[in-house]
Structures are given as structure tokens and as C-alpha cells.
């Protein structure tokens, strides 16, 4: 019985390791994808995932030797391309004429061997299970800053930094760590004369800190509303100053009006914080669509995201089916030189159908983790 349980546990770890988001998180911890990852995504016919793995290997100047098997060899012509040929190496016998011809057509070396050492499942599990990984959603959070500003503008929750500098009573900001940013504290006229929390202004690039501050009740001991403003960036040296800041109480009040019972979860949804919907639905479209709904449910999330694309669909399953049929034309159209940008644009612009159908669960999970 114990042996069987151990086997199931191994399968769970191995299955979890095949998530492209975890592969990205592992890469940030200096852990590269292996042959098993290449085999898995080849058999599953996932060209975008394979191109990303190839990009990671190429950046590290590493190759992976893929052991040929029937399942892998059948799928290779459907998903491999020239952008993978310099890092995926497979030793194909002379009897596999068609596959050899295909590999040669994409400039893949079908005979070269990298080494005699194989990376097996146990080694993969050991490496993945010992890593302490931040979720890819958390790592991609910073990509939502322009969208947060767009939402603030849409909700009339932006104020000018000129007004902030005239009115702020306290400034929460470290000195810039990079030489091409600057912070002129003398512009904040009342900070030294009015050391109260009447108006606290934050300059902080962290989206997570922004969410923590947004959740706070900004009132004084008498219950009066305090002003809290936020900007993500310092003024650039030699460039135009930052023009706008986000007014947190106004931002929160506007979102609460849209989704009273689940305003924080709705904020993550509307701003696409940690969510793969950046190209699927823009904030204005979400707000317009949301006006007909009151309950923050998986069904309504799906309708808000997909109905503008497929207005003829009657049911939620039909919406998902139509999106699934079209999604292949949307994902992975461009390869970016920067690994982080490529990962974001490929895996956080257009969700898979499975991601669409589990968005509420993902939002709720992140809302709990990011509230601590």
C-alpha cells in the first residue's frame, strides 16, 4: 500500500512540474527545463510552450536531447519549428525517413548526441520539489500597472501630481535606487509643516503593496475619510515628470459600486492582475459588459469576457467552444527577444479555455494570498 501511495505522489509532482507558469518561476530560480518538459509539450501539441522552453535553453546556451519514442515522433512535425531546432536534439534512426526529412527541413540536427546522461523523472521531481517558487501570477503582477492606471482613469480616480505635491501632508517614498530616476522632496510643500496623515502620498513600484494599501480603511479616529494617493514611478532624470497619481479611496469606492460584495476580487479581474486576459478584454469593455450583472460568478465572468467576441452565442458552453476554436489564431503570434516580455505576451494575453473556465477560482485564490 505504501509503495502505491508513493507512486501516486510522484505522479502528482511530475504532473505539476509540467505547468508552463511553474517552468517560468523555476527559470527565475536558475532551474532550466528538461527533456521531459519537451516530450510532454510535444505530445500535448503545445507549440507556444515549446517555443518558450527553447528560448530559455537558448538564453542559457544549453541543448536538450530528446529520446525518440513513438508518441513524440508522431507529434514533432506538427509542433516543432526552426525556432526550436538549435536547442532540441533528437537521435532518429535511418528507418524514420519522413521524420528525418522534416528535421532537416527545419535545420534540426537529427543525428547529434549531446551526452549519454539522461534526465529521468526522479531527477526532475527532486529538482522541482526542492524549489521555493513564487507563482507566475505574482511575478507577472507588475505588468498590470499600465492597466491599473487605465482603470483609475476610467473610474475618475486619477489626480494630478501637481495637486498632490501641493496638498500631501506625508510622503512615503524611498530615494530612487536607479540613477536615471529622481525624487525632489522640496516639491511637496506641506510635508514639513503638516506632519499628519491627512493626505499620504506613496511612490512605490510594487503592485502588491498597492493592493495592500487599497484594502485598508483610510479613516481617522473620528471616522473621517483620509486621502491616500499612489504613483508607481519616480520622475525620470531629464524627462517629463509623472503627471498623474491614483486616488485610492476614490478607486475603491468606484469598484465597490460595481461589485459591492466582491470589490477586491473584481479589482483583480478588471485590472487583469495576475490574470491571462490582457488582450482578451480591455477595462472599458469589462465595465460596459458588467452593467448587466450583479453576481461575481464564473458564469458571469465568462459572459463578460467572451460575449463581445461571440454575440451570436446563446449559452456559456457555446461561448467557450467558439473561443476555443478561434484561440489557435490568437496565441503565440510573435516571438519577443526578452524572455519576460515573451512569457507575458504569450501566456497572459489570451487564456486557454481551461483558464477561462477556472478564472473565478484563480481570482479567489490570489485574492486570499495577496491580502496577507
- At 329 the pLDDT is 66
Cβ neighbors of 131 (< 8 A, separation 6 or more) are 25, 26, 29, 31
Whether the pLDDT of residue 71 is over 80: the answer is: yes
Whether the pLDDT of residue 24 is over 60: the answer is: yes
- The SS3 call for residue 64 is strand
Half-sphere exposure of 263 (CA within 13 A, CB side): 15
CA separation (Å) from 208 to 25, 77, 177, 324? 17, 43, 19, 32
- At 19 the pLDDT is 87
- Give 231-285 pLDDT, tens digit per residue: 999 999 999 999 999 999 999 999 999 999 999 999 999 999 999 999 999 999 9
- At 72 the pLDDT is 86
- At 9 the pLDDT is 29
Whether the pLDDT of residue 333 is over 80: the answer is: no
- At 133 the pLDDT is 53
Whether the pLDDT of residue 120 is over 70: the answer is: no
Share of the chain above pLDDT 70, in %: 86
- At 112 the pLDDT is 43
- At 266 the pLDDT is 98
- Give 307-318 pLDDT, tens digit per residue: 999 999 999 999
Q: How confident is the model at residue 119 (pLDDT cuts 50, 70, 90)?
A: very low
Higher pLDDT, 273 or 76: 273
Q: What is the mean pLDDT of residues 77-105?
A: 82
The per-residue pLDDT of the chain, averaged, comes to 86
Q: For the chain, what is the radius of gyration of the CA atoms?
A: 25
* Helix orientation angle between 283-290 and 263-270, rounded to the nearest 10 degrees: 140
Residue 201: other Cβ atoms inside 10 A: 23
- At 68 the pLDDT is 78
What is the rounded distance in angstroms from the CA atom of residue 133 to the CA atom of residue 128?
9
Q: What is the mean pLDDT of residues 77-86?
A: 87
Amino acid at each position: 500500500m505504501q509503495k502505491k501511495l508513493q507512486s501516486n505522489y510522484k505522479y502528482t509532482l511530475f504532473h505539476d512540474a509540467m505547468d508552463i507558469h511553474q517552468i517560468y518561476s523555476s527559470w527565475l530560480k536558475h532551474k532550466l527545463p528538461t527533456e521531459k518538459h519537451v516530450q510532454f509539450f510535444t505530445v500535448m501539441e503545445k507549440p507556444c510552450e515549446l517555443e518558450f522552453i527553447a528560448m530559455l535553453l537558448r538564453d542559457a546556451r544549453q541543448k536538450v536531447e530528446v529520446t525518440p519514442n513513438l508518441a513524440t515522433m508522431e507529434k514533432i512535425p506538427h509542433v516543432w519549428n526552426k525556432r526550436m531546432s538549435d536547442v532540441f536534439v533528437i537521435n532518429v534512426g535511418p528507418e524514420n525517413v519522413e521524420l528525418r526529412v522534416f528535421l532537416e527541413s527545419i535545420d534540426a540536427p537529427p543525428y547529434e548526441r549531446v551526452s549519454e546522461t539522461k534526465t529521468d523523472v526522479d531527477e526532475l521531481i527532486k529538482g522541482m520539489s526542492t524549489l521555493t517558487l513564487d507563482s507566475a501570477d505574482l511575478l507577472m503582477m507588475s505588468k498590470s500597472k499600465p492597466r491599473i492606471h487605465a482603470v483609475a482613469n476610467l473610474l475618475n480616480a486619477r489626480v494630478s501630481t501637481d495637486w498632490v505635491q501641493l496638498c500631501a501632508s506625508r510622503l512615503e517614498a524611498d530615494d530612487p535606487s536607479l540613477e536615471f530616476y529622481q525624487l525632489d522632496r522640496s516639491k511637496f510643500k506641506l510635508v514639513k509643516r503638516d506632519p499628519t496623515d491627512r493626505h499620504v502620498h506613496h511612490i512605490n513600484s510594487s503592485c502588491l503593496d498597492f493592493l495592500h494599501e487599497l484594502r485598508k480603511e483610510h479613516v481617522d479616529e473620528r471616522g473621517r475619510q483620509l486621502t491616500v494617493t499612489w504613483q508607481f514611478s519616480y520622475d525620470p532624470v531629464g524627462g517629463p515628470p509623472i503627471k498623474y497619481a491614483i486616488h485610492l479611496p476614490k478607486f475603491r469606492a468606484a469598484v465597490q459600486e460595481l461589485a459591492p460584495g466582491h470589490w477586491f476580487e473584481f479589482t483583480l479581474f478588471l485590472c487583469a492582475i495576475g490574470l491571462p486576459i490582457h488582450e482578451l478584454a480591455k477595462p472599458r469593455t469589462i465595465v460596459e459588459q458588467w452593467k448587466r450583472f450583479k453576481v461575481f460568478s464564473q458564469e458571469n465572468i465568462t459572459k463578460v469576457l467572451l460575449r463581445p467576441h461571440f454575440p451570436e452565442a446563446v449559452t456559456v458552453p457555446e461561448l467557450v467552444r467558439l473561443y476555443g476554436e478561434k484561440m489557435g489564431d490568437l496565441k503565440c503570434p510573435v516571438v519577443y527577444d526578452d524572455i519576460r516580455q515573451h512569457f507575458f505576451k504569450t501566456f497572459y494575453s489570451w487564456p486557454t479555455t481551461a483558464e477561462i473556465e477556472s478564472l473565478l477560482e484563480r481570482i479567489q485564490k490570489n485574492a486570499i494570498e495577496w491580502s496577507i
